[in-house]
Amino acid sequence: MSEPQRARRPGGRSARVGAEVHQAVTDLISERGYGNFTVGDVAARAGVADSSIYRRWGSLETLLADVALTRLNVQSPMPDTGSLAGDLRTYAAQVAREITGPDGLALLRLAIALSSTGEQGLLARDDVLAERGRQLQSMLDRAVERGERAPDALEVLDHVMAPMYIRVLFGLGSLTPDYIDGLVDRLLDA
């Protein structure tokens, strides 16, 4: 008779190692910028073996995409306030807090870097975009089900997210609540 398989404990060693690796990536991007560190640097910073990172993520690009998506999902989950205007305002405010926070600029640079890397980086970026696109689309679909007129996901990116990203990347001004609400209002009034 075989031994029963041991169940993984949520929040155990695996979760702790994942969090340490993610923080190491974020710190290295902040300090050195994308492309200026290796899996070995991440492993040393996180206190784990390189092989642990390769076994879990497979490549640096996949790890970077996982860091970006995990951060987005934790810091900026898709809201469900009961109205599209409320959902969009809440989501935009969450994104604004995230990209103006201590690691925000590093994460924006990571997203840009994944867009300009080789095939593995493009695949990792596509995974992040596809998952975030599915989440955004679910918010828009809920609005349609409630009888609201909803823009498409690309319009949300063009009219709400992109202006915020540009402001942060180029230091063009703060993301005040009035500015963010104005972006949402213009999108919904169009």
Q: What is the pLDDT of residues 12-25, one digit of tens each?
A: 778 888 889 999 98
| pLDDT at residue 12, as a whole number | 72
pLDDT-derived band at 132 (thresholds 50, 70, 90) equals confident
| pLDDT at residue 44, as a whole number | 96
Examine the pLDDT at 160 and tell me if it is beyond 90. Answer: yes
Q: Give the residue ranges of DSSP H helices in 33-161.
A: 39-46, 50-57, 60-75, 84-100, 104-115, 119-145, 153-156
| pLDDT at residue 8, as a whole number | 47
Angle CA 19–57–22, to nearest 5:
20
